[in-house]
Amino acid sequence: MRSSLFRFALPGALLVTGCSDSSGPEPVVEVSCSAADATGGTVPLAVFQARTFRTTELNRCVWVTGAEARYLVVPQFPTETATRSLVRYALGNGGSLMMSPRVASSPPVSPSVHLDNVLRQMERRLAPSAARDASELRALSLSTQSIRGPSLQQIGTTRSFKVLSAIPANSQQEPTFATVTATLRFAGQNILIYVDNQAPSGPNGMSDSVLTKLGTWFDQDLYTIGVSTFGSESDIDGNDRVIVLMTPVVNGLTSRNNCQVVISGFFFGLDFTQDPNSNRGEVFYSLVPDPQGDFSCPRTAALVEGSMPPTFIHEFQHMISFNQHVLVRNASDEEAWLNEGLSHIAEEVVARYYDNKYPNRPPGRLFSDTSNIFINNDLSNSYDFLESPPTTSLTLFESTGTLAERGAAWLFLRWLADQKDSTIFARLVQTNLTSIANVENVAAEPFPGLFGDWALALWTDSIPDHPRTSVPERYRYKSRNLRQIYARLNLIAPQQFPRIYPLIPRGVGFGSAVESSMYPGTMEHFFVLSPDSDPALGLRFARPDGQTFGAGLKAQLGVFRIP
């Protein structure tokens, strides 16, 4: 299971809405470069050219063109196999060392993504038996024909569901469930919406007109976009439809002490098994309006109406992915970082659909009103990532996850699709491969090379005062202008987005070094300027004691010459 997070909307005028080296005594720093090190020759780099140095090249200093050349330098660990703990490192260049310590810290964890990750781990345990169970359940449903066809799915009919009622502390703890009775309120060609009979009603609940609006939206647009982008969902209950269950049990998963981020909905692969708590069908669980706060934090009907569409498409990708990986191919469920990234891509794909459908908008506004509903969280999450990449791993999610990690995954997949094409999303889902192996297969490139060029593109996209086309396509986003987007966020909501561009590289003076730390699966950005008197600039990326990194980290150093 994966739960979706919904942040409160930005102002309407925006219209965008291994081993660890981090413990023990301080090492003796020995990372520097001198003329005596320049034995391997200088790599010539012109303005807007780049090179990523890796493996044995990092056993010593690497040398690039000097003479007042300015560089973006990005040390990085493009791995998924190392232990997720901070790794201390030093970045030095030609000259004596001056220490500037900095130790990264882990951001606080949201209860929503804690739920997300814990139940995803449960799904991975369920995967070996889920395919067999789903096949048996589908055969049973087809033989009985008990719930198949619109004539047997009449508005006003009721049925019972089992709903997760508490967040497990970890994936080993048995989840608890509540049994609810719900009434069918909308029946479309692809979607059924049931509402828990205990949900608030009348002016405090969801009106028939709003449910019809949402149901039609899901049925005609979102369902079709999800299937065409990623592939088909399963149909183990034989009803040809996805069930949306709106229940206050989901409201209750959010603590009254943490109302800023709400668990707005989820999908749980347990429903594809014969577990006693399985609903034996394709079910998306959603919260309900609760303006009086009877079940948890007060939630208005308008908030629920605004959060449900992006939550649905996000969770629908998870449902499709589970079907394609586990039920169709008897493989493992997709790893968290790639699965969450694809669900955020699902939100953006819908945002693009509505931008194309409603192209006319006031000057200065980057997205349409409808598009804003779907892309808002992606922009906020990615901004959080770019503010602090060293503490945010792309490939090794925090055990209970962070919003910034989801932002990193969205940015990586958006860049990858810009380099390849949008069909990669379906190919990433319709496979028995997972994680880095999946990406390498679809991209037909080694992951470290993709990771290294993406790490550079995070800053080199749309370099200020230079035409976008000055930067090779490999080092920028082709379908999004990141600087334009984040500058708009800063203009409209400076309290929430205080920087014009969130990624600010740190400076490293010539002849000095900096010590820092970062997680495996991420990077850090620096500026280095060579003096006009020196024709070459030496760079060294190593442990603070001068030793090279273990092979599991796959250490590499990206270097981009900037004007």
Of the candidates 551, 561, 546, the residue with the CA atom closest to the CA atom of residue 37: 546
pLDDT band at 114 (very low <50, low <70, confident <90, very high): low
> For 100-114, 255-269, 419-433, which range has the lowest pLDDT when averaged over its residues?
100-114
**With pLDDT > 70 as the criterion, what percentage of the chain qualifies?**
85
Question: Is residue 107 exposed (0-12), middle (13-18) or buried (19+ Cβ within 10 Å)?
Answer: middle
pLDDT band at 264 (very low <50, low <70, confident <90, very high): confident
How large is the average pLDDT for residues 408-432?
Answer: 97
Contact 274, 249 (CB under 8 A): no
pLDDT band at 18 (very low <50, low <70, confident <90, very high): very low
pLDDT computed for residue 8 by the predictor: 42
Per the model's pLDDT, the better-predicted residue between 116 and 463 turns out to be 463
d(CA 120, CA 123): 5
Which helix (H) or strand (E) segment holds residue 352: the answer is helix 336-357
pLDDT computed for residue 172 by the predictor: 74
How large is the average pLDDT for residues 182-190?
Answer: 96
Of the candidates 197, 198, 160, the residue with the CA atom closest to the CA atom of residue 179: 160
How large is the average pLDDT for residues 41-65?
Answer: 92
> Could you count the other beta carbons within 10 Å of the beta carbon of residue 528?
24
Contact 137, 280 (CB under 8 A): yes
Joined together, the tokens standing for residue 233 give 């969902």
Question: Is residue 186 exposed (0-12), middle (13-18) or buried (19+ Cβ within 10 Å)?
Answer: buried
pLDDT computed for residue 222 by the predictor: 97
pLDDT computed for residue 370 by the predictor: 92
d(CA 555, CA 93): 17
How large is the average pLDDT for residues 166-189?
Answer: 89
Whether the pLDDT of residue 514 is over 50: the answer is yes
Per the model's pLDDT, the better-predicted residue between 465 and 149 turns out to be 465
How large is the average pLDDT for residues 528-544?
Answer: 89
- Please list the residues that pair with 516 across neighbouring strands: 89
E strands in 121-190:
158-164, 177-187
d(CA 310, CA 443): 27
d(CA 26, CA 222): 54
Whether the pLDDT of residue 110 is over 90: the answer is no
Whether the pLDDT of residue 153 is over 90: the answer is no
**532: Cβ contacts below 8 Å, ≥ 6 apart:** 67, 68
**With pLDDT > 90 as the criterion, what percentage of the chain qualifies?**
69
Give the range with max mean pLDDT: 20-24, 39-43, 557-561.
557-561
Tell the residue number behind the tokens 């034995």, with chain if given: 39
Whether the pLDDT of residue 101 is over 60: the answer is no
Interior CA angle at 160 toward 154 and 162, to 5°? 135
pLDDT band at 21 (very low <50, low <70, confident <90, very high): very low
pLDDT band at 111 (very low <50, low <70, confident <90, very high): low
Of the candidates 15, 33, 9, the residue with the CA atom closest to the CA atom of residue 307: 9
pLDDT in tens, 306-364: 999 999 999 999 999 999 999 999 999 999 999 999 999 999 999 999 999 998 887 77
Q: What end-to-end distance do the CA atoms of the chain give, in Å?
A: 47
State the virtual CA torsion across 334, 55, 557, 387 in degrees, nearest 10: 30
Eight-state DSSP code of residue 62: E
Whether the pLDDT of residue 433 is over 50: the answer is yes
Residues constituting the chain: 563
d(CA 266, CA 175): 14
pTM for the model: 0.89
